[in-house]
Structures are given as structure tokens and as C-alpha cells.
């Protein structure tokens, strides 16, 4: 009831993003007549306001509109600098209500909308003047929260989050991945999809098979005094990312391309990430732990915590240093526009984004087939022994009843069936196979029952 009411409230709200959406459609319908609209949108950005570049209602990228807006933005900034501007692109992603917009507001002095619940929808672009000489402007991408409770269980919710995460991570220079408390399962589920998208993108080829973006993980509202637990969380995150990287590299998908199916070799490190760094000293680590934003939730002490602000400032400087000293090459708006469109073209391939799930299903079928083969062979071996083949000494005779013969045969195979059933159950306990657990269990039970009926019939024919 709450989420339905919340959704109705959001749908009834009218903001500047809705006006800009209508203007973008007007431009697309008649670019010659409405050719000045992209210039107005660019000026809107120069004036310090955010502009929606990914529609929050339908999660679509209006390619023609955004391209023209960025062209006009480049002209505006060129007029100020008397040269093409150099930009650094920074995005932020995380689960809903993890404090993404609040962090960017504190870090850059912006005024992005914030609330206790979902506020940001889609992806917003904002231009901020740089305080460093290596680049002139920072392009901020503020994103909608993933794993929204109101979308839970709805068709297409997972695909929506995967598309959003891919659009947010791939075309940027740095990405902050935000988590509230220690709950990080949300972004751990979508990051493998982003890694897979990166593997197939032209940008990854330009960066030696790595993602262009450097990832920085921020855990908010955690106990920063428990250093042992924080270090354990860092190592757990590193291991999860390594497993995700291995999972991408080991995908065995039968694709018919030029040169035939391709088999990737498993990497020894996190090769999908740009030199991801974990260190017991948080000052040198790409994983940061923040306390609570406010000192208390009870007035008059519900004011921002100075320590939180200091950590935000340090994070901003750390991101700048890591990017600049990590082989980053400055680029302009023209190059970034090209990257952005390449990423969207990659996202548009829906089958591509589903390959991890497809690969998991193939792995499941392979494991079931292996267990079925073992059980089937055991039935055949024991039947041949009872039939009187040279491999065994037990022979059927007329005094042996059909029931006894069947029980004898079944007892010989029983242990093997139990052992393989345990293997199947153990395999299905893994998280990536939960979606097909009921189906796979039913298929295994049907197989075992079918094998028993077949070989019992064969045993009855011996008498």
C-alpha cells in the first residue's frame, strides 16, 4: 500500500525534467524548426542545473537529443575557455536511499534533490567547475537507486537495474559505488553484468580488456571503529569481485562467430577493473567506510557530523589522485559523447545482457546431465551382473521371484542414487541457480523415477 501510494505521488509530480522531456520530443520531431532547444539545454547545464539524459520513466536514452545538447555544451564552454574543455566524468550508483545525491551535494556543493525515499529517477548530468588544472570541468552523473522495493518482483526490474548500472559505469572515468550500512548485495548482483558489457565494448579493447572507469566503494553508516571487521569486509568485497571476474572469463557460451566459438582463459587477477586497490590502511584503499551523516536523529543534535564531511573531502581528493596517476588521459566532450553513444548501443543488445543467466542455466544442465549419466551407468552395470554377463557371478534362476530380483537390483543402485542426489542438492544451493531450483529438482526426481521403472521392467523380463 505504501509503495503504491508513493508511486502514485511520484507520477503526479511535475518537474523541470518533464518539461525538458517534452522539449526533447519537439526537437526530435522537427530539428530544423526547434534547432535552438539543444542550446537552451546546454545553457541550463552551464547555469549549474542538472539535466536528465536517461528518461526516468521508461529508462531510455534519447540519443539524438543528448548528442546535440553536448555539442552545444562544448560550444558554450569553448567560448569561456577559448579552447575545447577537458572533462573528467564521475558517476555514482547504489541501492535506493543509500545517500548518493547527498554525497555528491557535499562533495561538489551541488543541490541535487534528496529525500528519505526514492527521489532521483533516471540519470542526471550536471557540470561542475574543476579546482584542479588537469581538467576544466567535472561531469557528474547522478543516478536512480537500484533494487527499489516498489519494483521488487515486477517483470523487467532486474533488466532495468542492469541497464542502469551499465549506463552509469562504462562511459565514465570514475564511479562511486554506494552502500548503506554493510548491505552490498545489490551492487554485487549488477556489477557482473557491467563487467560482461565491458568485455564486449570497443572501449574495453582500447583499455586492454579493462573497464575505463575506476571504481570506488563507499559504505555509509558503519562502525568505523571496528577496524578488524572493516578489513574483513574489504577482503570479502575483493573476493566477490574476483569471483565475478572469473565468472565472466569462464563463460562457456556456444556462439557461432567468425573463427568459431571462443573460450576465454580464467584471469589470475581482477582484470576487468582498473588496478583495483585494497589496503588495510583506508587512506590507500579504494574502499571507504563512513559513519552517520548526522550526529543524532533527535533535535537539536540532528546536524551534519564534521567527521563525515572531512571524509567526503578526502574522498574527493583521493579520487582525483587515483584517476590522474592511474594512466588517465584527458578527453573532451566530443570524445565522451562518442563513448556514451557506444555504451547505449551495447546496452540495446538485450540478449547480450542476459548471457550470464544463460551461461548459468547451461552449467546447471551440464551438472544434471553428469549426475544422470552416473546413475544410468550404475543401473546398466548392475543389470548386466544380474543378467549373468561375464562381469559378475550372480545369475538369475527360475527359483528367484521377480520381486526379490527387483529388490536386489534396486539395493545395488541405491547408494549411488543417494550420493548423486546429494550432489544435485548441493549444486542447487548455490545462489546463481536458485531461479531454476524447483524445475531442476523436479527434473531430477522424474529422471530417477523413470530409470527405476525402466530397469524394474527389464529385471522382471529376466524371470
Q: For residue range 92-140, what is the model confidence (pLDDT) as tens digits?
A: 998 888 888 889 998 998 888 776 555 678 899 999 999 998 999 999 9
C-alpha distances (whole Å) from 438 to each of 71, 360, 361, 453 are: 53, 15, 13, 23
Residue 390 confidence (pLDDT): 42
pLDDT at position 211 over 80 = no
CATH of domain 2-250+258-349: 3.40.50.300
Rounded mean pLDDT, 38-55: 93
Pairwise CA distance, residues 311 & 309, whole Å: 5
- CA 158 to chain CA centroid, nearest Å: 9
Pairwise CA distance, residues 319 & 287, whole Å: 11
* pLDDT band at residue 253 using 50, 70 and 90 as cut-offs: very low
pTM, entire model: 0.74
- 376-388 pLDDT tens trace: 999 988 888 877 6
Query: Which residue ranges make up each domain of the chain?
Result: 2-250+258-349, 358-460
Query: What's the mean pLDDT when you consider all of the chain?
Result: 80
* pLDDT band at residue 268 using 50, 70 and 90 as cut-offs: very low
Do the Cβ atoms of 424 and 446 come closer than 8 Å? no
Angle between the 402-428 and 437-460 helix axes, to the nearest 10 degrees? 160
Helix (H) / strand (E) element for 94: namely: strand 87-94
Cβ neighbors of 406 (< 8 A, separation 6 or more) are 456, 459, 460
Rounded mean pLDDT, 56-85: 91
Strand order in the sheet with 174-180: 51-54, 123-129, 137-143, 87-94, 174-180, 214-220, 287-289
* pLDDT band at residue 408 using 50, 70 and 90 as cut-offs: confident
Residue 9 confidence (pLDDT): 62
Residue 354 confidence (pLDDT): 58
Return the half-sphere exposure (C-beta side, CA atoms, 13 A cut-off) of residue 77. 27
The H helix count followed by the E strand count for the chain is: 15, 7
- 149-193 pLDDT tens trace: 766 667 777 777 888 888 898 889 999 999 888 777 777 777 877
pLDDT at position 29 over 80 = yes
Amino acid at each position: 500500500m505504501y509503495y503504491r501510494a508513493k508511486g502514485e505521488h511520484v507520477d503526479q509530480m511535475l518537474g523541470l525534467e518533464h518539461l525538458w522531456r517534452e522539449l526533447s520530443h519537439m526537437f526530435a520531431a522537427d530539428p530544423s524548426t526547434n534547432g535552438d532547444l539543444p542550446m537552451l539545454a546546454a545553457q541550463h547545464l552551464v547555469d549549474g542545473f542538472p539535466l536528465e539524459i536517461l528518461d526516468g520513466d521508461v529508462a531510455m536514452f534519447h540519443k539524438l537529443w543528448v548528442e546535440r545538447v553536448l555539442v552545444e555544451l562544448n560550444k558554450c564552454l569553448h567560448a569561456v575557455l577559448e579552447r575545447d574543455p577537458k572533462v573528467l566524468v564521475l558517476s555514482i550508483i547504489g541501492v535506493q536511499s543509500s545517500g548518493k545525491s547527498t554525497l555528491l551535494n557535499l562533495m561538489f556543493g551541488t543541490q541535487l534533490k534528496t529525500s528519505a525515499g526514492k527521489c532521483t529517477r533516471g540519470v542526471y548530468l550536471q557540470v561542475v567547475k574543476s579546482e584542479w588544472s588537469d581538467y576544466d570541468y567535472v561531469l557528474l552523473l547522478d543516478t536512480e537507486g537500484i533494487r527499489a522495493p516498489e519494483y521488487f518482483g515486477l517483470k523487467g526490474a532486474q533488466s532495468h537495474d542492469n541497464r542502469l548500472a551499465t549506463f552509469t559505469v562504462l562511459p565514465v572515468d570514475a564511479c562511486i559505488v554506494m552502500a548503506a550500512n554493510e548491505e552490498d548485495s545489490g551492487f554485487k548482483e549488477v556489477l557482473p553484468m557491467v563487467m560482461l558489457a565491458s568485455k564486449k565494448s570497443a572501449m574495453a579493447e582500447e583499455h586492454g580488456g579493462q573497464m575505463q572507469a575506476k571504481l570506488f566503494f563507499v559504505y555509509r553508516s558503519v562502525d568505523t571503529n571496528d577496524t578488524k571487521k572493516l578489513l574483513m569486509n574489504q577482503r570479502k568485497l575483493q573476493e566477490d569481485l574476483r569471483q565475478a571476474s572469473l565468472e565472466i572469463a569462464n563463460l562457456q557460451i556456444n556462439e557461432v562467430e567468425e573463427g568459431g566459438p571462443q573460450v576465454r582463459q580464467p584471469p589470475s587477477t581482477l582484470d576487468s577493473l582498473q588496478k583495483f586497490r585494497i589496503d588495510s590502511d583506508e587512506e590507500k584503499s579504494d574502499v571507504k567506510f563512513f559513519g552517520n551523516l548526522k550526529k543524532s536523529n533527535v533535535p537539536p543534535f540532528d546536524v551534519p557530523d564534521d567527521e563525515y564531511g572531512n571524509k567526503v573531502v578526502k574522498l574527493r581528493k583521493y579520487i582525483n589522485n587515483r584517476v590522474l596517476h592511474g594512466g588517465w588521459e584527458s578527453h573532451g566532450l566530443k570524445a565522451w559523447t562518442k563513448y556514451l553513444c557506444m555504451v547505449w548501443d551495447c546496452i540495446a543488445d538485450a540478449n547480450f545482457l542476459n548471457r550470464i543467466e544463460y551461461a548459468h542455466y547451461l552449467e546447471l544442465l551440464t551438472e544434471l546431465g553428469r549426475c544422470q549419466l552416473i546413475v544410468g551407468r550404475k543401473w546398466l552395470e548392475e543389470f548386466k551382473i544380474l543378467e549373468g554377463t561375464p562381469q559378475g557371478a550372480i545369475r538369475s534362476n527360475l527359483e528367484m521371484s521377480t520381486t526379490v530380483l527387483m529388490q536386489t537390483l534396486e539395493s545395488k543402485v541405491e547408494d549411488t542414487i543417494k550420493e548423486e542426489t546429494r550432489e544435485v542438492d548441493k549444486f542447487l544451493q548455490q545462489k546463481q541457480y536458485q531461479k531454476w531450483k524447483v524445475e531442476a529438482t523436479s527434473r531430477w526426481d522424474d529422471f530417477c523415477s523413470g530409470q527405476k521403472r525402466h530397469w524394474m521392467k527389464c529385471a522382471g523380463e529376466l524371470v
